[in-house]
Amino acid sequence: MSRPQRYTLTLSCPDRVGIVAAVSTFIAGHKGWIVEANHHADQDTQRFFMRQEILADSLPFDADGLRQRFEPIAREFNMDWKVSDTGTKKRAVLLVSKQEHCLYDLLARWQSKELDIDIPCVISNHETFRGFVEWHGIPFHHIPVSPDTKSQAYGEVLKTFSEARGDVMVLARYMQILSPDVCAALSGRIVNIHHSFLPSFVGGRPYHQAHARGVKLIGATCHYVTEELDQGPIIEQDVIRVDHSDSVDDLVRYGKDIEKAVLARGLRYHLEDRVLVDGTKTVVFR
């Protein structure tokens, strides 16, 4: 059974008295029915964060009408804000290389409607998964990447994403470093899974690094992509315990399960507008 259509209002602004009252009074004044409400005040940055879910049919106007009428309040409090409509599916463009587990998991969740999204295409720097992706009825784009063609390749990736009208780019074990142009153009809209518990073991071969250090916990991190490798704001993380008897192959095997779950959770939080960026950190309203 699907949930009723909702409008999700998210915002951040300099913290001050009266923000909650102003937003709540505005919604109540239009007979809006709030079904979920979250807010957080960051004492370090002195910023305020809020997320409100409102039943769409409780308001006398549509999402555009909500945006238009809320604008004066947003200006008064100097808000960074947006309104999303659950009646419109988000469009996720997946990028993958040769590791299949995250791609398989996301497509299974998409096919079962666990992730209620559109996947307009999959992009890869290898042909490995063309048949699998096209079997699902999803267009597959092979865009090779080499040291000599990176600029051209990432221009094509960005063009393909734009033509697909993507809302979010998901790096499902895409083992290439995106160009600064792509990172800048899609700031806050590229979700990556990294196979370590960041900030430990950035870059390549993190399971080998972890094994060499004899760690007792390994993990995975879902984060937003920035120009600085593996340093983007963290959305979600998880760990599993390991011990001295585990080989690198064991760590890789354990880690794949964590990677799938962490990416799926982090992507869901993003799709549901539960993640608000606070500088190098995030506020996640679970």
Residue 53 inside a domain? The answer is yes
For residue 102, which phi and psi values (nearest 5 degrees)?
-70, -40
Identify the pLDDT of residue 3.
Answer: 83
For residues 222 and 172, is the Cβ–Cβ distance under 8 A?
no
Tell me: do 45 and 121 sit in the same domain.
no
Parallel/antiparallel/unpaired status of strands 92-96 and 122-124? parallel
Q: What is the CATH number of the domain that holds 67?
A: 3.30.70.260
Q: Which residue has the higher pLDDT, 65 or 2?
A: 65
Q: Is 1 contained in some domain?
A: no
Can 278 be counted among the known catalytic residues?
no
Q: What's the token pair of residue 168? A: 């979010």
Distance from the first to the final alpha carbon of the chain: 21
Count Cβ atoms below 10 Å from residue 83 Cβ, excluding itself. 18
Q: Which of 105, 167, 230, 273 is catalytic?
A: 230
Contacts of 243 (CB under 8 A, 6+ apart): 216
Residues 216 and 263 in one domain: yes
2 pLDDT higher than 90: no
User: For residues 179 and 286, what is the distance between their CA atoms, to the nearest angstrom?
Assistant: 31
Other Cβ atoms closer than 10 A to 82:
12
Residue 97 and residue 164 share a domain? yes
Domain, as residue range, for 255 = 92-284
Task: For 55-108, write each residue's pLDDT tens digit.
Answer: 999 999 999 999 999 999 999 999 999 999 999 999 999 999 999 999 999 999
Are both 203 and 263 inside the same structural domain? yes
pLDDT in tens, 228-284: 988 999 999 999 999 999 999 999 999 999 999 999 999 999 999 999 999 999 999
**Residue 268 and residue 141 share a domain:** yes
Q: How confident is the model at residue 216 (pLDDT cuts 50, 70, 90)?
A: very high
Q: What is the pLDDT of residue 237?
A: 98
- Distance in angstroms (rounded) separating the CA atoms of residues 201 and 102: 20
Which are the contacts of 18, defined by CB distance < 8 A and separation ≥ 6? none
What does the mean pLDDT of the chain come to?
Answer: 96
- Answer for the pair 262, 221: CB distance below 8 angstroms, yes or no: yes
> What torsion do the CA atoms of 265, 269, 271, 272 make, to the nearest 10 degrees?
130
Specify the DSSP class assigned to residue 118: B
Average pLDDT over residues 222-226: 97
Of 63, 85, 107, the last residue of a domain is 85
pLDDT beyond 60 at 1 = no
The span from the CA of 82 to the CA of 274, in Å, is 12
Mean pLDDT across 38-49: 96
Given a cut of 60, whether residue 195 has pLDDT beyond it is yes
